[in-house]
């Protein structure tokens, strides 16, 4: 027989700790607020790099040539009725410098690659994402990744405006800069973006500015996302509660819902105090924890129901709770551990919003395990203080008789 732990002793202390944490979170929310992402707070985020291009490339001919550049190679996909339809790959393990690469590329009919810094390493090249990759008469610039000489202050000086938030991503010569600015009703995306870009161009020169990524969300969009998110969260919780109420007794169902609301609040406490950006991806993490937490609680409730039948000798409801929690303890820990493996590997490998997502998940998972053991059971235990063995699953004899 497995050992039965006396979990019920922990019910009151854990409830106090959880309440304290949640109050701490509310304080954080009131004093610091939540760092809302673009989805909820409209604006423009643009990530740029500033560097002198190492080469430019242009094409004069009737074929359709598109250029793909990755860390290991450059592909030129040549199609069209006047061409042989082929993909020319240039492997950077062989063509180590820009000079060597240009020598090969210039052999293709109609393509001109002008070298400006021939000795640069080919594996560290990138393109401006806001420019087409189709080769035409207009030159496309190829940028080096590690030669940035500007600083956050230079960018700020270039934009010279209040209400602009500039953040350096990466360090040293490899840095890129994230520019964030809010929008107000009536601002159009095009105007804001053009004005930002124009300022950068005039300070650093048009061909020296490469846009890595832009993100714009207007005021209307962000408002509807916020409303939708709140509706979505409430509906998910209600649906889960309805299903649990059908499958289990009402206090079990309520206990499980309390546990998942607890997890949500703990995650918000974490998001609040770490200043993590709250985006729709983070919201997805919260909603997954909702699903995950209910999953963990339901397994325990199922066991309680089973043990109710199996333990006619039990005098107090807490005995059944303790037995059920002990029975499912291995499972609770194991499932959390395997899921943590998955989430930690996400955290290790990804960057940006998915990294935040995994971090929020890690907190949520641990909280989910904890709440399914202590918080929901504490609630059920409190509800069934006056439980007698002859009540069975019910709260009192009255309902038992009514059922019969």
Q: What residues numbered 357-376 form the site for other proteins, per CB under 8 A?
A: 357-358, 361
Half-sphere exposure of 7 (CA within 13 A, CB side): 26
The DSSP code for 373 is: I
- Return the structure tokens found at 233: 């969260």
Q: Which stretch binds other proteins (CB under 8 A): 92-100, 163-171, 190-198, 318-326?
A: 190-198
Q: Which residue, 68 or 174, has its beta carbon nearer to other proteins?
A: 68
Q: Could you tell me how many residues make up the chain?
A: 404
| Residue numbers 372-401 binding other proteins by CB under 8 A | none
Instruction: Rule CB under 8 A: say whether 306 interacts with other proteins.
Output: yes
CB of 160 to other proteins, least distance (A): 22
Q: Which residue, 135 or 159, has its beta carbon nearer to other proteins?
A: 135
| Residue numbers 207-246 binding other proteins by CB under 8 A | 211-218, 220-221, 225, 228, 231-232, 235-236, 239-240, 243-244
- Return the structure tokens found at 355: 């990294």
CA dihedral 69, 71, 73, 78 (to 10 degrees): -10
Instruction: Rule CB under 8 A: say whether 188 interacts with other proteins.
Output: yes
- Return the structure tokens found at 235: 């509906």
Instruction: Rule CB under 8 A: say whether 175 interacts with other proteins.
Output: no
**Residues 187, 204: Cα–Cα separation, whole Å:** 26
Instruction: Kindly provide the b/e burial profile for residues 220-245, where b requires at least 16 CB atoms within 10 angstroms of the residue's own CB.
Output: eebeebeeebeeeeeeebeebbeebb
Residue for token pair 């990138």: 126
Q: Which stretch binds other proteins (CB under 8 A): 26-34, 57-65, 93-101, 167-175?
A: 57-65
Q: Which residue in the set 203, 353, 394, 400 belongs to the binding site for other proteins (CB under 8 A)?
A: 353
Q: Which residue in the set 351, 385, 402, 404 belongs to the binding site for other proteins (CB under 8 A)?
A: 351
Q: Which stretch binds other proteins (CB under 8 A): 19-27, 101-109, 155-163, 325-333?
A: 325-333
214 phi, psi to nearest 5 deg: -130, 150
């Amino acid at each position: 027989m497995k050992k039965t732990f006396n979990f019920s002793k922990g019910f009151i202390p854990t409830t106090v700790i959880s309440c304290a944490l949640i109050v701490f979170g509310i304080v954080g929310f009131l004093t610091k607020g939540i760092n809302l992402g673009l989805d909820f707070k409209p604006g423009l985020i643009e990530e740029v790099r500033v560097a002198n291009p190492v080469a430019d490339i242009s094409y004069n001919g009737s074929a359709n040539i598109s250029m793909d550049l990755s860390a290991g190679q450059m592909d030129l996909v040549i199609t069209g009725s006047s061409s042989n339809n082929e993909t020319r790959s240039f492997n950077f393990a062989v063509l180590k410098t820009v000079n060597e690469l240009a020598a090969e590329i210039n052999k293709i009919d109609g393509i001109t690659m002008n070298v400006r810094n021939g000795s640069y390493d080919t594996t560290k090249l990138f393109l401006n994402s806001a420019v087409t990759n189709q080769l035409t008469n207009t030159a496309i610039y190829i940028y080096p990744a590690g030669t940035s000489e500007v600083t956050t202050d230079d960018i700020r000086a270039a934009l010279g405006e209040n209400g602009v938030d500039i953040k350096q991503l990466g360090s040293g010569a490899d840095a890129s800069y994230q520019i964030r600015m809010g929008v107000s009703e009536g601002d159009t995306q095009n105007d804001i973006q053009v004005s930002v870009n124009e300022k950068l161009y005039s300070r650093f020169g048009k061909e020296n500015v490469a846009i890595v990524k832009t993100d714009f969300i207007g005021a209307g969009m962000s408002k509807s996302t916020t409303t939708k998110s709140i509706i979505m969260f409430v509906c998910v919780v209600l649906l889960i509660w309805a299903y649990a109420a059908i499958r289990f007794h009402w206090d079990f169902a309520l206990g499980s819902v309390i546990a998942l609301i607890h997890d949500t609040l703990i995650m918000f406490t974490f998001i609040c105090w770490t200043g993590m950006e709250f985006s729709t991806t983070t919201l997805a993490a919260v909603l997954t924890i909702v699903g995950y937490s209910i999953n963990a609680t339901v397994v325990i409730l199922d066991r309680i129901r089973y043990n109710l039948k199996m333990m006619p000798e039990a005098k107090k409801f807490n005995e059944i709770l303790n037995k059920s929690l002990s029975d499912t303890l291995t499972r609770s820990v194991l499932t959390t551990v395997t899921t943590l493996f998955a989430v930690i590997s996400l955290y290790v490998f990804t960057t940006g919003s998915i990294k935040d997502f995994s971090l929020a998940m890690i907190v949520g998972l641990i909280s989910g395990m904890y709440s399914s053991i202590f918080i929901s059971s504490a609630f059920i235990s409190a509800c069934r203080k006056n439980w007698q063995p002859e009540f069975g699953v019910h709260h009192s004899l009255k309902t038992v008789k009514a059922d019969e």
